[in-house]
Every structure is written in structure tokens, then in C-alpha cells.
Chains A and B, each alone.
Chain A
Amino acid sequence: MSNTATTPSATAGGPAPAPDAPGPPRARRPSRGPRKPRTNPVLQALMVLMVAYTLLPLYWLTVNATKSNGELFRSNGLWLGSEISLWDNIVATVTYQDGIYLTWLFNTALYSVVGAVGATVICAWGGYALAKFDFPTKRLVRAVVFGAITIPATALAVPTFLLFAELGITNTRLAIIVPALVSPFGLYLMTVFAADSVPDSLLDAAKIDGANAWTTFWRVSFRLMAPGFATVLLFNLVHTWNNYFLPLIMLNDPSLYPLTVGLNQLNNQVTTGANLEPVYNVVLTGSLLAIIPLIASFLFLQRFWQSGLAAGSVKQ
């Protein structure tokens, strides 16, 4: 019964051909029988409720980002106010304190892209090595690194801060990027991907051709691992984009903040009266703008998610 668990390549054809996974149902659906399953009203109602639940806060945020501060206090939270001030709010958000919001957005993008791309490349190399090479200390490396998957990142944050403070590198961009480069789970996923998608015969052939390991990796293996690379990249991107605890403790210069820390600081500012006028509209519009890039990336890249998740979890 645990067949599926141990031989994913045989079942799902490995993670590599995943790009077609989430789209229209794969071949097995129609083949399951000539009868197309009928819509079940109970299940349908259940799912509609579920969708309402997940979309409600997003709906709320969108609606309220269209309101001016005064309107926000006056109007019903679940419906539009008497006027739509979305554009004014966007202008207010990006010009607030000389455009600090755009700085935060830039920082978030920088941390995410550098951190996530870096982490994913490092994971690709490592996973490739663990799947396709035999070398001394490999067992040890594997045991230690995969064991580290269970160490919560936030439990590491305070120790990392303490170390970096000793080294005098807190409050620098490096202090956010370096910890973001470590992704044990990404390494694990890349190991799975590499094992499944790079045939040994190809590597042998390359070797016979006299290509060195480095060239072989980039010319042959990396291309085969590309779908897996995309999946791990997405994982790391979301993690660094949403990172809050580490930058919260590491940074004290607002011009280095990512969006998460900046938005929460703004919110605290509002809720303690430091500003004469509480800029709820900036907090709400800023929140909305902050989630749009990721949601857009989800819409476009959803198939990589599903394929990656399948590979990572089916395998144990």
C-alpha cells in the first residue's frame, strides 16, 4: 500500500514532468470511467463556504483600501464607502515620509530575490551532490542537514542576532540575506528532484565526453532539474518575502526594513498616537500593495507549486 510513497518516479513520472500537473486533469481522470462525476450540491456548498472564508479578509482589505481615513471611521467595513479614494491612498502610501514605502518594497524585493535565488542555487548544487555523487562524509552531511529541517527558523533568529551583534553586522542588509541563504528543506527537495530527474546514464556519457563536473552540471543536469529549481525558488521567495521576526530584531534603520517590518511599525505608530493623524489608509493600502506581487506570482506559477509539493511529500 505504501507503494506510492517509495516509488514516486514510477507513479507520477517523477516531479520533472510536473508542469502539466495542476492544469486540466491528467489522463487518469477521463479514464477513470465513462461517467463524469456529477456535481454534489452538499460538497459544492461546502466548497463555496470555504472559498468565502479564504477570500473574506482579502475582500475586506481591498474594500477598505479604497477609503480615506474619515471614511474608514464612518463606513461599513464590508462595503465601499461613499467615495473611492484608492488612487489617493496609493499616492499617500508611496509618498509617505518621502517614499519610505518604496524603499521597503525595494528592500523586500532585494532580500527576496538575492536570498531566494542564492539559496536555491546553493540548494541545487547541494542536492545534486547528495543525489548523484558519492563522497566521504556524505552520510554525516545528510544526517545533519536533513535533521536541521525541524529546527524552527524563529528559534534560530535570536541566536543569529546575538552572534551577528557580536560580529557587529546587525543592521546591515547582509544580516538579512545571509540567514536567508540557508534552506535545509530546499536542499531536501532538490535532492529528491536531482535523484529523479537526472539519469545516471547521461552523466556517464558526459564524463566519457570528457566534460568536467562543473560544466556537466550547468549544461546537462541543471536543465533537467529546472522545474524543481523553480519550485524551490518559489518556496524560498515566499519565505523571504514574508520574513518578519529576523529583520524585526536585526534592523533598526527604517531604510533597511522590508515591508513586513515597516508595515507593522507603521501600524504601531498609528495605534500609539505618534502621528497626529493616524494613517490607517497608508497601513491598509500598503498591505494591499504588499501582497499583490506574491498573489500575481501564484496565479502565474501555481503549477510549479503543485508539482513541487507533490515531489516533496509523496516521497518520504
Chain B
Amino acid sequence: MRLSRRVLLTAAPGLCLALIATGCGGGGTGGGSASSADRSAEIEAALEEGGKLTVWTWSTKFDDAVAAFEEEYPGVDVEIVNAGQSADQYTALQNAISSGENIPDVAMIEYFALPELALSEQLVSIDEWGLGGLEDRFTPSSWRQMTYGDATYGLPNNTGPLIMLYNTRVFEEAGVEEPPATWEEYAAAAEKIKKEMPDSRIASIDPGDAGGLDSLIWQGGGRPFQHEGESVTVDFTGEDTQKVNDYWSDLVSRDLVAAEPGWTDEWWRSLGDGSLATWTTGAWALGNISSTLTDNAGDFRVAPAPVWDADDPQNAENGGSGFSVVEGSDDTALAMGFLKWFSLNEASVDAQLDAGSFPAQSAPLEDPEWLSKEFEYFGGQQANKVLAEASGQVSEGWQYLPYQVYANSVFGDSVGSAISGGGSVQGGAEKWGEQLRSYGEDQGFDVR
């Protein structure tokens, strides 16, 4: 810890505060090419020797897996710390690294944040530790999202292929017989629901959730963000992007969907009492809904998210995260050992699945026992089959910006404001894009 701080400070010129490691170190993104050195002996030795590890995650889904690890390696003491939620945690991570104090060994990193943290050299590349060969144990999409440039910065953990949860009671009452398979059917169902049940809407669109709109655009084929090295592209005027935005503008302006932030007390109540009929979200949400709306057991079912083209279903991901070893960890070898065991050991993965995590690992997705599990909450449905299929249809080529944490933080200013104010989603998105381009230029990127 001390060492890393000294390194940082010597790299920092003059008054440099080094809040962002590269901000002072002078940038540089070549994360070291994949010299798949086999350092497994070193890692094994560290695990045997034991020690103390700090793992940052704000999710409570990993407690049992960590306990399983500690049972396997009694010499290692793992402390789970909640250092804040998403963006808050990334800020805390940055502050910890810059001050050299309280740096965690391992941290949960959402896919959207990975490029930014990798670019600012906050994460350790696993290639240097010979873990690069584990690629085929994970879904291709999740693995890609852990890489930046030529290097991979951690192991994927969970993913969120887009699915749709729907309330069968509302569908029945409104006369919607089948869950809508395409967005066209979805709009028709939305009309029906509003007509039959004036106080209900098919869904709400969250003015604060950049990730939500991102995945809808992704699913529609839009690719507004691209980056390569120091050049980035932000473009919301692509045909597929516009198609998605205009679709939602239309639903909002016809008052067919509510414009309401998700996850609030209000929103849960709305979902529970049928004021909102569906929730299009990541596969991880099954656990959330079943443990929150306990009174609604049996009401909800899982369906694939509606698609644009029924003959060629394309899906996207919503959320999802991996775990990375943090630059400045006291014991990188031990941290790597933990990362590998935690991500792939069967006992660990099983514990995570039981806690409601949707795996990025390929093995469970093909496990017949897991696939045929019946969910009592969802009326006995074999929901994992739907999820696994959704996972298999995730389309390729999506990228986040190397400053997506910032991008998401200002989503509400432009797009969210348009959604809440009943304006055009496309207009808001273009404003958002403008801000992201000018920010990229300010930050020294080559913006195209």
C-alpha cells in the first residue's frame, strides 16, 4: 500500500494531486500484452501462506461464496466492505488509490465502468498472472466486457441478459393473452392495458437509469459508443438508435408508459399492485422481485424481452459485473488466487447462484439441473431456460465509453429531463451525446 502511494506520487508532477492515477502519470493505455506467464505456483503459495484480503462490493449476494472460500483456505481472512453503490464505489476507489490509504485487494466492477477504471490504471491485468487462459469458461459477451485494449482486467461474474417480467393478473384483466414477443405487440398491449385499466400502464421508463436505455438501444442494434485507444465515438443519430428512442418517445407522449424512477418505494408498490404490468430488465432481477414483492407470489412470469425482428431475435445485456484485482493491493498473488477460486470453484458458483446471481460462467448455463429448476414464485416456471436463451441471443459489438461512469451520471440532466418532461427521448439523447463529446475533448480524447 505504501509502495503504491510512493510510486504514484513520484509519478505525479508538481502540485499534482493524483486523484486519477493517469491524470498524473501521463496516460498510456497499453495494459501490457498478454504474456501468459504461468504464475500459478506463486498464486498457490500465496493461498497456502494465507493473509488478509479486502473485497469491495455493495451487493449482498456474495457472502456465502466468500464464506466457502474461507472454509477452503482457513489461512485467508476475507473482509467484505460496502464502500458505496456503483459510482460512489468507483469514486471511493479512485480516492483510495490516490491517497494510498485503504486500498481494497479485489473490487466488484460493473462492465460499464471497466474501460474507465482500466484506462486510469486502477485495475491489474489478469494476463500478467496467467489467468487469461480462462476465457472459455465464461460467456463470450461477458469476457469481452472485462477487456480493454489488449488486456483483460479481471474475471466476469454475473450478467444481465434482457428479459421481461410480467404480471399475469394484469395481462388477464386487460385481455392480453400472450406476453408480447415484439415491440410492436408490446405497444399494442400497452394500449390495451391503458384502455382496460386506466390507472395501470404497461411499464415505467426510468429517467435516471442510463443503463436501461443503453440496453434497449443495444438490443435494437444501435451502437452509440465506440472506443479504440484514445479515440472515442459518440453518435446517437444512427438509424437503429433513433428507432429505439423514437419508439419510447411515442409511448411516453401517448401516456402509455409512466415516466417514473425505478426501485423507489413508490415504484415497488406500483409493480406490486398492478399499476405497472411489466418490467423489462436484466436476468438478475428475478431474485430482487421475489424477495421484495413477497405478497405477489405466483403473479409474475418471465418472458424473453420483446424483440424488433421476430425472425432474428437479438438481445442485449442490462447490468452485470465482474471482479478485478486493484492496483496497489498489498498481496496481488493472493488476490488473484481468491479471484480465480471465487469465480470458478463449483462451491463458490453454486453459492452465488443460490443467492440469485445470474452467472457469467458458461458451465451453469448448460447444466440441465440448473436449467430445469422450477421457481415457485413464478408459478413453477422453469425460468432459467428463458434466461439462458436470452443470454445466448446477446448481440455483439456493444462498447461503453472509457468515461461511462461520468456519462451515466449526467444521463438525468438531458435524457432523464426529456423523459420526465414528456419531451423527445431522441432529442435528449442527442443532447447527452453532445455533452459527452465535449467532455471527451476536454479530457484529451480524440472524439470522432
Most interface-central of A170, A172, A252, A271 (chain B CB within 10 A): A252
Q: How far is the CA of A244 from the CA of B86 in the complex (A)?
A: 19
Q: How far is the CA of A219 from the CA of B92 in the complex (A)?
A: 48
A275 at interface (Cβ–Cβ under 8 A)?
yes
Report yes or no: A70 in contact with B60, Cβ–Cβ below 8 A: no
Identify which of A74, A168, A171, A273 contacts B263 (C-beta below 8 A): A273
Report yes or no: A168 in contact with B101, Cβ–Cβ below 8 A: yes
Q: How far is the CA of A171 from the CA of B84 in the complex (A)?
A: 13
Report yes or no: A265 in contact with B85, Cβ–Cβ below 8 A: yes
B122 at interface (Cβ–Cβ under 8 A)?
no
Identify which of A73, A268, A271, A275 contacts B60 (C-beta below 8 A): A275
B82 at interface (Cβ–Cβ under 8 A)?
yes
Contact with A along B22-59 (1 / 0, CB 8 A): 00000000000000000000000000000000000011
B447 at interface (Cβ–Cβ under 8 A)?
no
Interface residues of B in 53-102 (CB under 8 A from A): 58-61, 81-86, 88, 91-93, 95-96, 98-102
Interface size on A, residues (CB 8 A): 30
Closest CB of chain A to B12's CB: distance in Å?
Answer: 10
Interface residues of B in 1-36 (CB under 8 A from A): 5, 17, 19
Q: How far is the CA of A171 from the CA of B99 in the complex (A)?
A: 9
A153 at interface (Cβ–Cβ under 8 A)?
no
Stretch at the interface among A16-24, A228-236, A276-284: A276-284
**What residues of A have a CB within 8 angstroms of the CB of B294 in the complex?**
70
Q: How far is the CA of A162 from the CA of B268 in the complex (A)?
A: 39
- A252 with B83: in contact, given A170-B99, A271-B264, A277-B292 (CB under 8 Å)? yes
Q: How far is the CA of A277 from the CA of B292 in the complex (A)?
A: 5
The chain A residue sitting closest to B96, CB to CB, is A252
Report yes or no: A252 in contact with B85, Cβ–Cβ below 8 A: no
B199 at interface (Cβ–Cβ under 8 A)?
no
**What residues of A have a CB within 8 angstroms of the CB of B268 in the complex?**
73, 278
Most interface-central of A171, A268, A274, A277 (chain B CB within 10 A): A274
- Give the tally of cross-chain contacts (CB within 8 A): 86
Identify which of B85, B93, B95, B101 contacts A272 (C-beta below 8 A): B85
Q: How far is the CA of A272 from the CA of B96 in the complex (A)?
A: 24
- A276 with B81: in contact, given A265-B88, A269-B58, A271-B263 (CB under 8 Å)? no
A99 at interface (Cβ–Cβ under 8 A)?
no
B265 at interface (Cβ–Cβ under 8 A)?
yes
**What residues of A have a CB within 8 angstroms of the CB of B293 in the complex?**
73
The chain B residue sitting closest to A283, CB to CB, is B265
Contact with B along A246-280 (1 / 0, CB 8 A): 00000011100000000001001111111111101
**What residues of A have a CB within 8 angstroms of the CB of B61 in the complex?**
276
The chain B residue sitting closest to A277, CB to CB, is B291
Q: How far is the CA of A35 from the CA of B16 in the complex (A)?
A: 73
**What residues of B have a CB within 8 angstroms of the CB of A74 in the complex?**
295
Contact with B along A164-179 (1 / 0, CB 8 A): 0110111110000000
**What residues of B have a CB within 8 angstroms of the CB of A268 in the complex?**
85, 88
Q: How far is the CA of A74 from the CA of B295 in the complex (A)?
A: 9
Interface residues of B in 115-140 (CB under 8 A from A): none
Closest CB of chain A to B357's CB: distance in Å?
Answer: 10
- A168 with B5: in contact, given A73-B295, A253-B81, A268-B88 (CB under 8 Å)? yes
A150 at interface (Cβ–Cβ under 8 A)?
no
Q: How far is the CA of A274 from the CA of B284 in the complex (A)?
A: 10
A72 at interface (Cβ–Cβ under 8 A)?
yes
**What residues of B have a CB within 8 angstroms of the CB of A272 in the complex?**
85-86, 263
Q: How far is the CA of A265 from the CA of B91 in the complex (A)?
A: 14
Report yes or no: A269 in contact with B85, Cβ–Cβ below 8 A: yes
A40 at interface (Cβ–Cβ under 8 A)?
no
Identify which of A69, A70, A165, A273 contacts B288 (C-beta below 8 A): A273
B154 at interface (Cβ–Cβ under 8 A)?
no
Identify which of B19, B82, B93 contacts A254 (C-beta below 8 A): B82
**What residues of A have a CB within 8 angstroms of the CB of B19 in the complex?**
165
Closest CB of chain A to B330's CB: distance in Å?
Answer: 16
**What residues of A have a CB within 8 angstroms of the CB of B96 in the complex?**
171, 252
The chain B residue sitting closest to A256, CB to CB, is B102
Report yes or no: B265 in contact with A72, Cβ–Cβ below 8 A: yes
A54 at interface (Cβ–Cβ under 8 A)?
no
Most interface-central of B19, B92, B295 (chain A CB within 10 A): B92
Closest CB of chain A to B341's CB: distance in Å?
Answer: 23
Q: How far is the CA of A69 from the CA of B261 in the complex (A)?
A: 20
B356 at interface (Cβ–Cβ under 8 A)?
yes
Q: How far is the CA of A162 from the CA of B15 in the complex (A)?
A: 11
The chain A residue sitting closest to B288, CB to CB, is A273
Closest CB of chain A to B120's CB: distance in Å?
Answer: 16
The chain B residue sitting closest to A255, CB to CB, is B81
Contact with B along A273-305 (1 / 0, CB 8 A): 111111010000000000000000000000000
Report yes or no: B295 in contact with A70, Cβ–Cβ below 8 A: yes
The chain A residue sitting closest to B286, CB to CB, is A276
Identify which of A70, A166, A252, A273 contacts B102 (C-beta below 8 A): A252
Identify which of B92, B285, B356 contacts A252 (C-beta below 8 A): B92
Report yes or no: A265 in contact with B84, Cβ–Cβ below 8 A: yes
- A165 with B95: in contact, given A271-B264, A274-B59 (CB under 8 Å)? yes
Report yes or no: A171 in contact with B356, Cβ–Cβ below 8 A: no
Closest CB of chain A to B270's CB: distance in Å?
Answer: 10
The chain A residue sitting closest to B272, CB to CB, is A73
Q: A252-B96, A265-B84 are in contact. List 14 more A-B contacts (CB 8 A).
A: A69-B292, A165-B19, A171-B99, A172-B101, A252-B95, A252-B102, A272-B85, A272-B86, A274-B58, A274-B60, A274-B85, A276-B288, A278-B263, A278-B292
Residue contacts A-B, CB under 8 angstroms, 10 given: A73-B295, A74-B295, A252-B83, A252-B93, A272-B85, A274-B59, A274-B60, A276-B61, A276-B288, A277-B292
| B interface residues with partner A (beta carbon < 8 Å) | 5, 17, 19, 58-61, 81-86, 88, 91-93, 95-96, 98-102, 261, 263-265, 268-269, 272, 285, 287-288, 291-295, 355-356
Q: Which 8 A-B pairs have the closest CB atoms?
A: A252-B92, A276-B291, A277-B291, A271-B263, A274-B58, A268-B85, A168-B99, A273-B288
